[in-house]
Structure 1
Amino acid sequence: MTPTPATPTPHIAVLGSANMDLVAYVAEAPRRGETVTGREFRTVPGGKGANQAIAAARAGATVSMIGAVGADTFGAQLRSSLEHSGVDTDLLRRVDTPTGTAHIVVDDEGGNAIVVVPGANGTVKGLTPGDEAVIASADALLLQLEIPLKGVLTAARAARRHGVRTVLTPAPAQPLPAELLAATDLLLPNEHEAAALTGITDDPPAAARTLLAQVPEVVITLGSQGSLYAARGAEPVTVPASRVTAVDTTGAGDTFAGTLAVALAEGKSVPDALHWASSAAALSVQRPGASASMPCRKEIDAQAAEAAARTTDGTPS
């Protein structure tokens, strides 16, 4: 019997932010003008770019991180965290501006509120020749909006020139230039970002149809309700989320994005890729922190198999 050829390891390039997350855990988030007492505080490596890079690396890809950190303790810790997860940091610049930070409040229901101070991330306004060479060699480029739009657009154009699939997470939500959307292959908003981009609330399928006028593929993540995939000329695909008890939802979207990029680069079908990414996100929300909560490939495979078995026997996933 001829053995099945092994799936080539995909190469994912990530251009984005690297922040130190300063996380306070509280029973209930404070309202304006209110002071509350927290029960715990942690510093956790984060930033949407770094998070997606770590998620993709733990899911089995070769990952190159393009971005910037400061010449400070947080910057050294972020670089070490990325490298520990197997991410190549040769293109992670060291600049004089302090490393970016994210100030996060997590309540007892697992919800969060976040203030991001860009710091060094704000210096990433373009590409070096080495950056473009790595993007050109990748199977996919992951982008987010925690660095200047000029840098995001430059990278998206480079990916388009070299025929590299671009996956854009439009967060934090903001108006997107037509040029950036034209260079995006897969747009990956959550339901709130999709509403902000389209003006359509409480109707993700309608929001997806509107977005398809600007990009060829859309995945809208719906939190505990799963995810919705839509593409031009194809029927929408909805994948439910696994039913789990959330401890901390910080980083779940980045876990989904990084894992989804790996699955698609490996040639998984869209439904299988969505199920696999959803399984990774389900694992991440059951643990505290962002990058610290992200599962490895073995865990994702086991969670996905378990969810598939429950669906087969009629038990809600």
Structure 2
Amino acid sequence: MDDRRTSSTDADVLVAGLLFFDAVFADLPHGPVLGQEHWTPHFAWTPGGIANFAIAAARLGASTDVAAVVGDDELSGLCRAALAREGIGTALLHRAPGWSIPVSACMGYDGDRAIITGGTAAPVPLPELLPAQGGRVAALHVDETTADWVRTSASRGLRVFADVGWDATGTWDPALLDAVDGAYAFTPNDREAMAYTRTDDARAAARALAERVPLSVVTLGGDGVVAVDSSTGEEVVAPPVRVHAVDATGAGDVFCAALAVASLEDRPLRERIDFAALVAAITVSRPGGAATAPRRDELAPWLAANPAAADRDRYGFVTTGLPAATAAPAGRAR
């Protein structure tokens, strides 16, 4: 692996953060029981963490680079090779000798999933991985260490899709939201959004967060999405696409990836949200996380084969004009 560092990206989409090796066990009848062994035919392995976003974006036609730490272990090699096969640029990967990529066992049952992860934190902080220039859209979990990079993103012409993630301490300090200042979009789930804004309604939370970013998007799991465009005042409340959820692993990342790709074009907010909801719904109907995210040319055939899943009028734009593909995957840097 080439360890030369690069300070720029020419990709449409830059994804930065933690990589994992995910072993996915989907469509389980219930959670694990001590002393028992459970089998499921719905099993897959895939690069996880930020790779979910990167793979989904690349499959939708956006040229994509990933900035993360990998180890010199065999599982890191498998993940890097899998990313390269997807046409994702790997020149921003940093190899840390002696460190092993974390491994997650993702178990899907009762319409959601539980995750157990083994490993240690990446030995290189995220700010040291972020390129100084280039790109059109970026996605990362932000905190105080990335605040300066995010704040200057707009001046570089970069739209950052930010997430701050789950607060395991239960504090939900609103001051943490300062880390999204300068971002284009903030995309928490409803529990995170309501906790940070001290509200008890997802729409109220989305409106409160829209005071910080141009685009506030709150995902509601199987209940849909609420989005607020603070630049126009437009609000979208989108219903879910009706599917049998087999594996929710990476669903939020896949949704945000599709939203970011749709945002590369000047399309109506409703279409961007509906496009992202469709891509995420197809993904959760299959086992394997983003490894089963659909490619662009799968969307219309999937809708034709699943007429009960979504309203035809809602998805007319899928056949009349999708966000334009911009990638030339075979030419991405390895």
Q: TM-score, normalised by structure 1?
A: 0.83
Cα offset, 1:257, TM superposition: 0.7
* Residues 220-239 of structure 1: pairs in structure 2 closer than 5 A: 220-232=218-230, 234-239=233-238
Distance 1:312 1:278, change over 3 A: closer
- Please give the alpha-carbon distance, in whole angstroms, between the structure 1 residues aligned to 2:151 and 2:104: 28
- Please give the alpha-carbon distance, in whole angstroms, between the structure 2 residues aligned to 1:54 and 1:193: 24
Other-structure match for 1:38: 38
Other-structure match for 1:4: none
Task: Mark the runs of 5 or more structure 2 residues left unpaired by the alignment.
Answer: 1-9, 317-334
Matched, 1:144 2:141: yes
Cα offset, 1:208, TM superposition: 1.1
- Please give the alpha-carbon distance, in whole angstroms, between the structure 1 residues aligned to 2:217 and 2:35: 38
- Indicate if the aligned counterparts of 1:17 and 1:67 stay in contact, CA closer than 8 A: yes
Cα offset, 1:221, TM superposition: 1.0
Cα offset, 1:266, TM superposition: 2.0
Cα offset, 1:42, TM superposition: 4.5
- Please give the alpha-carbon distance, in whole angstroms, between the structure 2 residues aligned to 1:276 and 1:260: 7
- Indicate if the aligned counterparts of 2:11 and 2:65 stay in contact, CA closer than 8 A: no
Quick one: which amino acid aligns to residue 105 of structure 2?
H
Other-structure match for 1:256: 255
Structure 1 range deviating more: 206-215 or 185-194 = 206-215
Cα offset, 1:110, TM superposition: 3.6
Provide, for residues 219-241 of structure 1, a one-character-per-residue CA deviation record: whole Å limited to 9, x for no partner: 11112221111132513111112
Quick one: which amino acid aligns to residue 44 of structure 1?
W
* Residues 162-173 of structure 1: pairs in structure 2 closer than 5 A: 162-173=156-167
Other-structure match for 1:187: 186
* Residues 76-225 of structure 1: pairs in structure 2 closer than 5 A: 76-96=77-97, 97-107=99-109, 109-117=110-118, 119=120, 121=122, 123-127=124-128, 131-133=130-132, 136-144=133-141, 149=143, 152-173=146-167, 175=173, 177-201=176-200, 203-225=201-223
- Indicate if the aligned counterparts of 1:283 and 1:295 stay in contact, CA closer than 8 A: yes
Distance 1:311 1:142, change over 3 A: closer
- The structure in which a higher percent of residues are helix is 1
- Please give the alpha-carbon distance, in whole angstroms, between the structure 1 residues aligned to 2:135 and 2:295: 21
Cα offset, 1:300, TM superposition: 2.8
* Residues 35-74 of structure 1: pairs in structure 2 closer than 5 A: 35-40=35-40, 42=43, 44-74=45-75
- Please give the alpha-carbon distance, in whole angstroms, between the structure 2 residues aligned to 1:312 and 1:277: 11
Distance 1:182 1:74, change over 3 A: same
SS at match of 1:102: strand
Structure 1 residue ranges (4+ consecutive) displaced by more than 6 angstroms after TM superposition: none
Structure 1 range deviating more: 245-254 or 233-242 = 233-242
- Indicate if the aligned counterparts of 2:25 and 2:44 stay in contact, CA closer than 8 A: no
Task: Mark the runs of 5 or more structure 1 residues left unpaired by the alignment.
Answer: 1-8
Q: Please, which of 27, 30, 36 is the counterpart of residue 28 of structure 1?
A: 30
Other-structure match for 2:312: 309
SS at match of 1:90: coil
Distance 1:19 1:238, change over 3 A: same
- Indicate if the aligned counterparts of 1:53 and 1:63 stay in contact, CA closer than 8 A: yes
Cα offset, 1:169, TM superposition: 2.6
Give the aligned length: 294
- Indicate if the aligned counterparts of 1:276 and 1:304 stay in contact, CA closer than 8 A: no
Quick one: which amino acid aligns to residue 56 of structure 2?
A
Structure 1 range deviating more: 114-123 or 58-67 = 114-123
- Indicate if the aligned counterparts of 1:20 and 1:43 stay in contact, CA closer than 8 A: no
SS at match of 1:126: helix
Quick one: which amino acid aligns to residue 309 of structure 1?
R
Distance 1:162 1:281, change over 3 A: same
- Please give the alpha-carbon distance, in whole angstroms, between the structure 1 residues aligned to 2:164 and 2:94: 23
Provide, for residues 178-236 of structure 1, a one-character-per-residue CA deviation record: whole Å limited to 9, x for no partner: 541212221001112212322323x1011112222333321111122211111325131
- Indicate if the aligned counterparts of 1:132 and 1:158 stay in contact, CA closer than 8 A: no
Percent same amino acid at aligned positions? Answer: 29
User: Could you say which structure has the greater relative contact order, defined with CA pairs below 8 angstroms and 6 or more residues apart?
Assistant: 2
Provide, for residues 83-128 of structure 1, a one-character-per-residue CA deviation record: whole Å limited to 9, x for no partner: 1111101101111221122232222x34201234463635233235
Distance 1:214 1:36, change over 3 A: farther
Other-structure match for 1:3: none
Other-structure match for 1:6: none
- Indicate if the aligned counterparts of 1:55 and 1:259 stay in contact, CA closer than 8 A: yes
Other-structure match for 2:331: none
